[in-house]
Amino acid sequence: MKAEALTTYELEVEDVEYVRHGNEPLLARLFKPRGTGPFPLIVELHGGAWCHGDRLNDTIINEPLAKSGVVVAALDFRMPPVAAYPASLADINYAIRWLKMRAAELSSRPDWVGILGVSSGAHQAMLLGMRPRDPRYSAVPLRGATSAIDAAVRCVVLCWPVIDPLARYRYAKKLKEGGQPYPDLVDQVLPSHDQYWETEKAMAEGNPVLALERGERVELPPALYLQGTRDLAHPRPDLDRFVAQYRKTGGQVELELFEGEGQAFITRNPGSPNASKAIEKIIEFVHREIQ
The answer to whether residue 5 scores a pLDDT higher than 60 is no
Give tens-digit pLDDT for 132-164. 999 999 999 998 776 789 999 999 999 999 999
The answer to whether residue 4 scores a pLDDT higher than 80 is no
Q: What is the pLDDT of residue 103?
A: 96
**Residue 28 identity (one-letter amino acid):** A
Question: Residue 111, Cβ neighbours under 10 Å: how many?
Answer: 12
Worst-scoring range by mean pLDDT, 45-49, 184-188, 246-250? 184-188
Worst-scoring range by mean pLDDT, 110-119, 151-160, 166-175? 166-175
CA 150, 254, 87: angle at the middle one, nearest 5?
35
CA 240, 242, 243: angle at the middle one, nearest 5?
65
* pLDDT confidence tier of residue 3, bands split at 50, 70 and 90: very low
Predicted model pTM = 0.95
Query: What are the b/e assignments for 147-169, b being 16+ CB within 10 Å?
Result: eebebbbbbbbbbbbbbbbbbbb
Q: What is the pLDDT of residue 191?
A: 94
Question: Residue 217, Cβ neighbours under 10 Å: how many?
Answer: 7
Of 169-183, 205-219, 257-271, give the range with the top mean pLDDT. Answer: 205-219
Q: Are 84 and 12 spatial neighbours (Cβ–Cβ below 8 Å)?
A: no
Q: What is the pLDDT of residue 1?
A: 42
Mean pLDDT of the chain: 94
Give tens-digit pLDDT for 14-57. 999 999 999 999 999 999 999 988 999 999 999 999 999 999 99
E strand or H helix at 202: helix 200-205
**Residue 250 identity (one-letter amino acid):** G
Q: What is the pLDDT of residue 100?
A: 97
Q: Which domains does the chain have, with CATH numbers?
A: 3-289 (3.40.50.1820)
Q: Are 194 and 203 spatial neighbours (Cβ–Cβ below 8 Å)?
A: no
Q: What is the pLDDT of residue 146?
A: 67
